[in-house]
Structure 1
Amino acid sequence: MNQIRPPGRSVTPAGSRSPLAELDLRSREIFRRIVEAYLESGEPVGSRNLSRSLPMSLSPASVRNVMSDLEGLGLIYAPHTSAGRLPTELGLRFFVDALLEIGDLGETERSHIESRVRAHAHDGSPEAVLAEAGNLLSGLSRGAGVVLASKADPRVKHIDFVRLEPRRVLAILVGDDGSVENRILTLDEDIPPSALVEASNYLNARLQGRTLNDLKADMERSRKALEAELDALSRRVVEAGLATWAGSGSERPHTLIVRGHANLLENLNALEDLERIRLLFEDLEKQNDIIELLAHAERGEGVKIFIGSENKLFSLSGSTVVATPYRDANRKIVGVLGVIGPTRLNYARIVPVVEYTAQVVGRLIDRE
């Protein structure tokens, strides 16, 4: 996992000593060109081609010696089908951490991203904005675009409690948007209908389009007032209802959107690639694991990169995730978006695209 530093800077994470720090400029240049050739074409590069393209004069034999040193450090390897070299996952990690220079997007690219996503904001649906962001990221990266949205905390119009059995109560919540949700509450003792009426009246008098999380926080701050205004039984119904609706036990706390599966089938040139994509498709079906992976991107600032086996979800398919959180006007993280693709993504381009898309989505979602 990696967190990208500010554009244009090459930084090795604090507390770690990269093998690249032990390499001279010649070795760094050869390593850089091997990685860049892989990111561009996916093909291994040999010593003869490298010796022709280097800015310094080196024979193929000298290049092979440097490549042998890089291989000894675990940064490159020789596939069995070629005398050329490819970067290992460790090599890609060190390239991203120490050599990758992230630029910025031009005004044309920024305008394109903003206009694409904004075109769906007029629908008044955050889901439409998020879905288009996934489509956009998929198209620009030629990978799969992913968006993880926290489940909305609904603004409440009305709440009722209906007695089903002596200790079981049906809670009915009506949102401002007309949505209706039902939950079963199991209480510790028999609750008479009069206590349920008192509890619902108490809550409805204080809702006024607020969220239940807001109301729950108010109740916790003014517990003495709650105790004074309601009898013990009604208070237990109120507290149980708020805990059920506003607590962390929500059945689906996140919404996951994945767009562009078909892009991952492009440019397949070997049976190994086809098998990798098959494994990736299997991974994409594991929504809970994807949510867990993307949730890691909520920690800290900036864009994060997960390469291959660095995450358990994509350890077999050897895929990369580039992801960043998006925030509301109060800088609160409300979701994560990013790209899933092969390890040879164009990181220098994808990172600023993901970062700017997150900024645009955050601004538009906050208006909804």
Structure 2
Amino acid sequence: MNSTPKGQHPTSSQARALAELNDRSREIFRQIVDSYLTTGEPVGSRNLSRLIPMTLSPASVRNVMADLEQAGLIYAPHTSAGRLPTELGLRFFVDAMMEIGDLSQEDRSRIEAQVRAGGGQSLESVLADASQLLSGLSRGAGVVLTTKQNTQLKHIEFVRLDPARALVVLVSEDGSVENRLLDLPAGLPPSALVEAANFLNHRIRGRTLGDVKGEIAARRAEMERELDVLTARLVEAGIATNAGSGESRQLIVRGQANLLEDFRAAEDLERIRQLFEALETQTDVIELLTRAEGAEGVRIFIGSENKLFSLSGSSMIAAPFRDGTQKIVGVLGVIGPTRLNYARIVPMVDYTAKVVSRLLESGR
């Protein structure tokens, strides 16, 4: 949103003003927010006097709007006589005033059907379908973050490229293949690559890389009795290359084109270009979604509350999902303009995360 004041945490005076809002002020503020979320356009005192369910003159409405502006909840874009909510105002609305509706049975059935339709496919396919589903339901971009460390493994191989480097080839049960470069210990004989692969292949099938790494660490002495020192180092290096590294994080984004429909002006197109660049580089998106992983339920990030959306004026609604051990293994959500339909999308994201969790719990 243009010209929106920065800093989304209210000052002590603002906090008092928010707490002291009377019913009349709350209703006018609600109408301003509702109008913005519906149309994206500022609304003026004359229209507000007709919208609110109480008799107030445009002059009285203007007085209330002045108080709301003083509290940092609304602002006037450019020279418009109308008002829009600030990001602080949107945060106040979401936290204190928003009434979250329940999903219709039609939406629930659609989410269940589309997510479960991929139940026999790979985990990546299921999550890609969930991302596409959220994009279609919200008309925003659907995002999913998970980690390939949670993928069940089938086979590992070490392929020597030159005396100092090898390629680690990981094949998962779902058929996906991941390659990583590995620096080799000096003086490592060719036979060590075969020995290390055989040692791991006896232990990895049907298990995650994280599980294997934990077992190797717990049974280090046993491994060192079976293998020579250099081969043991190769085993540890091979699984460390993938387990727990930032590269194991997998981001799935669907429906970026939907965002263009809500950013039509030239300056808006520049802002959406910046958001697209952030989605392309992924780093900031992954960092933000990682923060949402620690939440018990749905998290809402609005505009400049975070670095990713500080320039593009966007928001994200996200919720974590779990595997059969109730461990959080990823997060999914929706990115869109700050005038997202929060009341509708929050339960949608929450329910989709629960469906994905149930699917993972049942082993698909």
TM-score, normalised relative to structure 1: 0.84
CA distance in 2, matches of 1:314, 1:135: 21
Which one-letter code corresponds to 2:210 in the other structure? N
Task: Kindly indicate whether the alpha-carbon contact (under 8 Å) linking 1:167 and 1:190 is maintained by their aligned counterparts in 2.
Answer: no
Superimposed CA distance per residue, residues 283-304 of structure 1 (whole angstroms, 9 cap, x where no aligned partner): 3333222222222211221111
Q: 2:249 aligns with which of 237, 251, 254?
A: 254
What's the CA shift for 1:67? 0.8
The answer to whether the aligner puts 1:359 opposite 2:354 as a matched pair is yes
Superimposed CA distance per residue, residues 220-278 of structure 1 (whole angstroms, 9 cap, x where no aligned partner): 22333334444434333333333234x3236x322222222222232556444444434
User: Which moves more between the two structures, 79-88 or 170-179?
Assistant: 170-179
Counterpart in the other structure of 1:305:
300
The answer to whether the aligner puts 1:288 opposite 2:283 as a matched pair is yes
User: Which moves more between the two structures, 45-54 or 310-319?
Assistant: 45-54
Task: Kindly indicate whether the alpha-carbon contact (under 8 Å) linking 1:51 and 1:58 is maintained by their aligned counterparts in 2.
Answer: yes
The answer to whether the aligner puts 1:202 opposite 2:215 as a matched pair is no
Listed as ranges, the matches of 1:96-175 within 5 Å are 96-122=94-120, 124-161=121-158, 171-175=168-172
Counterpart in the other structure of 1:26:
24
SS at match of 1:224: helix
CA distance in 2, matches of 1:61, 1:92: 24
Q: 2:65 aligns with which of 67, 73, 78?
A: 67
Q: 2:340 aligns with which of 342, 345, 348?
A: 345
Change (3 A) 1:82 1:200: closer
The answer to whether the aligner puts 1:93 opposite 2:91 as a matched pair is yes
Task: Kindly indicate whether the alpha-carbon contact (under 8 Å) linking 2:122 and 2:174 is maintained by their aligned counterparts in 1.
Answer: no
Counterpart in the other structure of 2:217:
220
Task: Kindly indicate whether the alpha-carbon contact (under 8 Å) linking 2:149 and 2:210 is maintained by their aligned counterparts in 1.
Answer: no
Change (3 A) 1:289 1:18: farther
Task: Kindly indicate whether the alpha-carbon contact (under 8 Å) linking 2:165 and 2:184 is maintained by their aligned counterparts in 1.
Answer: yes
Counterpart in the other structure of 2:39:
41
Q: Percent identity?
A: 66
TM-score, normalised relative to structure 2: 0.85
Which one-letter code corresponds to 1:71 in the other structure? E
SS at match of 2:293: coil
Counterpart in the other structure of 2:232:
235
Superimposed CA distance per residue, residues 69-113 of structure 1 (whole angstroms, 9 cap, x where no aligned partner): 111111111223421211111111111111112122122221121
User: Which moves more between the two structures, 272-281 or 80-89?
Assistant: 272-281
CA distance in 1, matches of 2:319, 2:141: 15
Which one-letter code corresponds to 1:324 in the other structure? A
Which one-letter code corresponds to 1:264 in the other structure? L
CA distance in 2, matches of 1:259, 1:343: 18
Q: Structure 2: which 5+ residue stretches go unaligned?
A: 1-8
Counterpart in the other structure of 1:57:
55
Change (3 A) 1:33 1:214: same
User: Which moves more between the two structures, 280-289 or 33-42?
Assistant: 280-289
Q: Structure 1: which 5+ residue stretches go unaligned?
A: 1-11
What's the CA shift for 1:315? 1.4
SS at match of 1:285: helix
Output the aligned Cα RMSD.
Answer: 2.9
Task: Kindly indicate whether the alpha-carbon contact (under 8 Å) linking 2:123 and 2:174 is maintained by their aligned counterparts in 1.
Answer: no
Would you say how many aligned residue pairs link Structure 1 and Structure 2? 353
CA distance in 1, matches of 2:270, 2:170: 47
CA distance in 2, matches of 1:169, 1:283: 32
What's the CA shift for 1:32? 1.4
SS at match of 1:79: coil
User: Which moves more between the two structures, 310-319 or 205-214?
Assistant: 205-214
